[in-house]
Amino acid sequence: MSRKLMVLALLALAVTCIALFTLGKEETVDFSADVKPILNKHCITCHGGVKKNGGLSFLFENEAFARAESGRPAIIPGDAEHSEFMKRLLSDDPELRMPYNAPKLNDEEINILKRWIDQGAKWGEHWAYTLPKEVDVPKPFTFAGLFGIKPKGVNNNIDYFVQAKLKTKDLTRADEADRSTLLRRLYLDLIGIPPTLAETHAFIEDERDDAYSRRVDSLLASSKYGEKWASWWLDMARYADTKGYEKDGSRHIWPYRDWVIKALNKDMPYDEFTIEQLAGDLLPQPTKDQLIATAFHRNTMNNDEGGTDSEEFRMAAVLDRLNTSYQVWLSTTFECVQCHSHTYDPFKFEEYYKSLAFFNNTRDEDTQGDHPKLRFYTAEDEKRIDSIKHWLAANADGNAVKSADLFLYTLEPKIHAHYSDKITDGALYDTKWLGVRNGGSARLKAIALDGKKQLFMNFWTDVAGGKMEIHLDAAQGPLLAHVDLPKTAGRQVIQAPILSTAGTHDLYLVFKNPAVAAGQPICMIEWFAFRKDFPSGTATEHQHFQRTFLQLVNLQPESVPVMIENPKDMQRKTNVFLRGNRLTLGEEVQPMVPESLNDFPKGAPRNRMGFAQWIVSKENPLTARTLVNRVWAQLFGSGLVEPLGDMGTQSTAPIHRELLDYLALDLMNEKKWSMKKLVREIVLSGTYRQASTRNDENVQKDPENHYFARGPRFRLSAEQIRDQALAVSGLLSNKMYGPSVMPYQPDGVWMTVYSGESWVKSEGEDQYRRAVYTFLKRTSPYPSFVSFDASSREVCLVDRIRTNTPLQALATLNDPVYLEAAKHLGDIMALEGKGDTKKSISAGYRRAMLKEADPKKIADLEQLYQKAVLEFRKTPAAAAKYVGEDLNKADSKTLSSRAAYMLVANALLNLDEFLTKS
C-alpha cells in the first residue's frame, strides 16, 4: 500500500511541476504578428526608408541592431531594461520620449516590445515572404467520418478550414442556397451571364447526386468562361484600345485580348500563362501566339504628342512594366522602392534597379509607330516568306534564316530616327523623325558594323533627286555608301549596299539635293536597319529574293505590338536613379531579384525569361498565394488576405492563412497550376454554396463576413451588368473575337484631339456583343462602365472598388442599351402573358430573376404598369419616343401597352436583386 501511495505522490508531484512550468512559461512574442505592426505604426516614419533619424532604422535587421549615432545600439537583445529603445519609450521628458511629438504607446504595446527584447529580440520574417508549409487539414474526429460520412456543409477540404475558423468565433454556417439562386451565382461567376429559364428548370428537376458538379464542369468547358475571366485579367494587364496620354490615339492590340480569352478557355497552366506573357519572345522558337502574349507589357502607354522626350516615356513604360509585374504576380508594392528602400517591406533601393535591368533591354522606344509589331501576312505572302527562308537555308546558315524571319515579321532590329544626334542644318521633327536640309548632316552613334553590308531605311519625300552619303566616324570621313532618295508616295523602305566594315563606329549621314526649297528638309526618316547581305547564289536568284524581301518589308499588313529583346550589340546599361530621378544616374547594376525572396533559378538566363522562371518557381512564396487570393476574391467579393494588391507587412493579418497556404501548395503540386481546377474546387465547396441570407447573430459577430459564415453577396461588375441585361432580353450576341466594337454611346462623349477619330456606332449584332469586346479609350472610357467602377486601364488595377452612386441608376434607367434591352424584354412579357397583365409581369420577373416573385412585388409592378398605360394613352407621342418608333407608323392600339411593359421591364432590370450576385 505504501508503494502505491508513493507512486501516486510522485505522479501528483510531476503533474504539479508540469502545470507550474506551463503556467509560468511566458508566451513567446511573434515578431511578424506582434512587433512589426507596432514598429510600422509608430516608429518607421522617422526610423526607416527615407528617414533614419539618429542613425537608427527598423526596416532591416542589421540596421535595427547596428550602432546608432550615439555609438551604441538602441536594442540590446535579452536586456530591455538597459536598451535605449525602451528607455525612450518610457521617458517622461517630452524631448526624449519616443515617438517624438506623438501620443505615447499604450501599456499593451510597451509590454509586447519589452517582452520581445527580453526574449532575445528575435527578428522574424513576414509570413508572406516565407514559403508556404504543408498544412494539415483540420478534420475533426467523428465516428461518422470512419464510414466516409462528412459533416453537414462539408464538401471538400476548403470547408474543414472554414468550419474550424467558424468554431473559434462561435459562428454557424448558413444553409445551402436554393437551387435557382445557386445556379445563377454559378453562371455569373464562371461565364459572366445568367442561365436561361430552361437551364434553371432542368437543374431544379435534376435529382442526380452529381447534378451540381455536372453544371460546374459544363460551364468550365464553355467558351464563355474565357470571356468572363478575361475582364479580370485585362484590368491587371491594363489592356485598352488606345495608347493613352493627351493624344491617346488608337492602338491595334485586340489580338492580345483574344489570346487571353483563348488561353483561359484552354486552361493554360498559370506558369506557362506567366512565361508567355513576360517572355514569350525569348522562348527557343516562339510561335505567333507566344509573341502576341508578350503584348501584356506592350499595353503600357505611349506618348505620341509632339515635343516629348521619347527616352523619358520609354523609361516610364519600363518602370510601369516592372511595377506591374511585381503587383500582378507577387502582390507587392514594389513601386515604393523607386526612390528609396521600402518603408515597410524588406526591399532595398538598389534592388529595384536590379529588377529593372530585366526589362530595360526591349526594342520598343515610345515611337509613334508603336514598334516593334508582329506583322500578319496573307497566305500568299506567307508562301513568299517560306520561299525566301528555304533559299536562305540552302545557301546560308541558320542564323540568316532566323534573322530574315525576325525582320520580315517584326522589322527588328532597327534604329529609330530619334537616336540620331549632332544634327547640323536639320532637326528631329516633332521629336520623332529626322529631317536634314541640303548640305546638312546627322550622326548615328556607335553602330556595330561587323558583317553588315545592307542599309534599309524607312523615309518619305515629295522631291526627286536627293542623295544621302554615309561617312565613317566624321562628316568628311571615308565614304561607306551613296544612297539615292527617290520621290515617294507616302512612306517607303529602300535598300542600299554599304562597304564592308569591321567594328563599332559612328556614322555621319550627309544629305544633298539643291532642288529642295531653302529651309526645307530633303526627306523625313523614321528608321534605319543595318543588315548582313543576302548570300550570293546565282545572280538571278539573289536579285529575285532580295527584291521579294524588300517588297514584303514595304507591305502594310495588320500587326500587333509585341516585345522583342535587343541583340547583344544594342544592349543597354541599367543604372540606379538617384532619388528615383532618371536624369541623375548612380552606379551601374546587373539583373537580380530581391534578397528577401527566393533565389534566382540556377542556370536561368539573366533576362525576362529568367525573371519569369523565378516568378513561377515553386520556391517563390508569393506567386501561388497571390493567384489563389485573387481568384477567391472574384468568387467571394473579398480575398483571404486584404488588400489584394499588398501581401506585405501593411496587409491585414490573414484570418485564413492555413487555407491560403493549403490552396497555394495544392495549386502548384496537385493541380499543376490549373486555374480551372482551382476555380472548380472553390465553387464545389459547401462554403461557396451557402445562402447569402443574413443571420442576425452572425452578422453582429462578423458583419463583413470575414469568416464566410454565409454565401457571397455583392454587386455585379460593369461588364456583367450590361451582359446580363442583354442576355435576359434575348439580345446578347454570341460572336467571339476580332476587333473591338462600338455600341451606342452619346454624342460628344468622345473628344479626340489631333487624329480626327470618332466613335462610329457598330452595326448589326456587333452592338450587342459582350462587354469585353467594347472599344476602350483611356482618356474617355465607355460611360456606363466607368459609372459602375470599371477601370480606364491606364495603370494596373488588381481590385475594383464598388460604389453606389446616382449615376449608376441614371445609366441603367436611361442608357439606350438598357432601354433597348427593356423594350425587347417588355415585348417578350407581352407575348408570354397573352393579354394577362399579371402573367406578363410574372413572366418578366421569372426571366430576369429565375424564380417566382412574391405576390407583393407582382402587385407593385402591376400598379406601375397601370399608371404607365394611363400616362402613355394621354401622350402617345411620348410613348412612341420611349419605344423608339415613328408615331405615324406605330400601332396606336398597342403602343401605350407596349411602352408600359417596357417601363416595367426597365424597372426589373434596375432591381437590386438583378444587379447583385447573391
**In this predicted model, what pLDDT tens digit does every residue of 386-420 receive, in sequence order?**
999 999 999 998 899 999 999 999 999 999 999 99
Q: Report the distance separating Cα 410 and Cα 106, nearest Å.
A: 63
pLDDT digits (tens, 9 = 90+) for 733-752: 999 999 999 999 888 888 77
pLDDT digits (tens, 9 = 90+) for 660-693: 999 999 999 999 999 999 999 999 999 999 999 8
Amino acid 148: pLDDT:
65
pLDDT digits (tens, 9 = 90+) for 259-280: 999 999 999 999 999 999 999 9
pLDDT at residue 226 tops 70: yes
Q: Say how far residue 490 (Cα) sits from the centre of its chain.
A: 38
Report the DSSP pairing between strands 524-532 and 433-448: antiparallel
At 204, list the grid cell.
431544379
Amino acid 14: pLDDT:
55
Residue (of 688, 612, 610) closest to 270 by Cα position: 612
Are 579 and 353 in contact by the 8 Å Cβ rule? The answer is no
Confidence of residue 61 (pLDDT cuts 50, 70, 90): confident
At 82, list the grid cell.
538597459
pLDDT digits (tens, 9 = 90+) for 109-119: 999 999 998 99
Amino acid 22: pLDDT:
46
Query: pTM, whole model, 2 decimals?
Result: 0.93
3-state DSSP percent of the chain in helix, strand and coil, to 5: 45, 10, 45
Are 710 and 695 in contact by the 8 Å Cβ rule? The answer is yes
At 133, list the grid cell.
508549409
Q: Which residues of 6-31 are buried (b: 16+ CB within 10 A; e: fewer)?
A: eeeeeeeeeeeeeeeeeeeeeeebeb
Cis before residue 372, ω within 30 degrees of 0?
yes
Residue (of 507, 511, 509) closest to 485 by Cα position: 511
Amino acid 749: pLDDT:
85
Residue (of 41, 51, 59) closest to 126 by Cα position: 59
Question: Does 276 or 542 have the greater pLDDT score?
Answer: 276
Task: Please compute the mean of the pLDDT values over residues 161-175 and round it to a whole number.
Answer: 94
pLDDT digits (tens, 9 = 90+) for 176-225: 999 999 999 999 999 999 999 999 999 999 999 999 999 999 999 999 99
Give 561's strand partners.
Answer: 373
Are 42 and 99 in contact by the 8 Å Cβ rule? The answer is yes
At 729, list the grid cell.
432580353
Written as one letter, the residue type at 899 is A
Are 218 and 749 in contact by the 8 Å Cβ rule? The answer is no
Task: Please compute the mean of the pLDDT values over residues 245-259 and round it to a whole number.
Answer: 95
Q: Report the distance separating Cα 252 and Cα 236, nearest Å.
A: 19
Amino acid 746: pLDDT:
85
Amino acid 312: pLDDT:
95
Amino acid 754: pLDDT:
78
Amino acid 6: pLDDT:
64
* Mean pLDDT of the residues in the chain: 92
At 713, list the grid cell.
453577396
C-alpha distance from residue 342 to each of 63, 327, 328 (Å): 14, 15, 18
Torsion from C-alpha of 657, 658, 659, 662, nearest 10 degrees: 120
Question: Does 13 or 536 have the greater pLDDT score?
Answer: 536
- φ, ψ dihedrals at 435, nearest 5°: -130, 120
The per-residue DSSP string of 78-136 comes to T-STT-HHHHHHH-S-TTTSSSTTSPPPPHHHHHHHHHHHHTT---PPPGGGSPPPP--
pLDDT digits (tens, 9 = 90+) for 85-98: 998 998 888 888 99
Written as one letter, the residue type at 374 is L
pLDDT at residue 150 tops 80: no
Residue (of 615, 607, 534, 521) closest to 572 by Cα position: 607
Between vectors from CA 59 to CA 53 and to CA 65, what angle results, nearest 5°? 75
Helical packing angle, 675-684 and 211-220, nearest 10°: 150
Q: Which helix (H) or strand (E) holds 316?
A: helix 310-330
Dihedral sign of CA atoms 787, 792, 795, 796 in order: positive
pLDDT at residue 890 tops 90: no
Cis before residue 781, ω within 30 degrees of 0?
no
pLDDT at residue 700 tops 60: yes
pLDDT digits (tens, 9 = 90+) for 501-527: 999 999 999 999 999 998 999 999 999
User: Tell me, what DSSP letter sits at residue 363?
Assistant: S
Q: Report the distance separating Cα 235 and Cα 797, nearest Å.
A: 5
Amino acid 23: pLDDT:
47
At 718, list the grid cell.
460593369
pLDDT at residue 11 tops 80: no
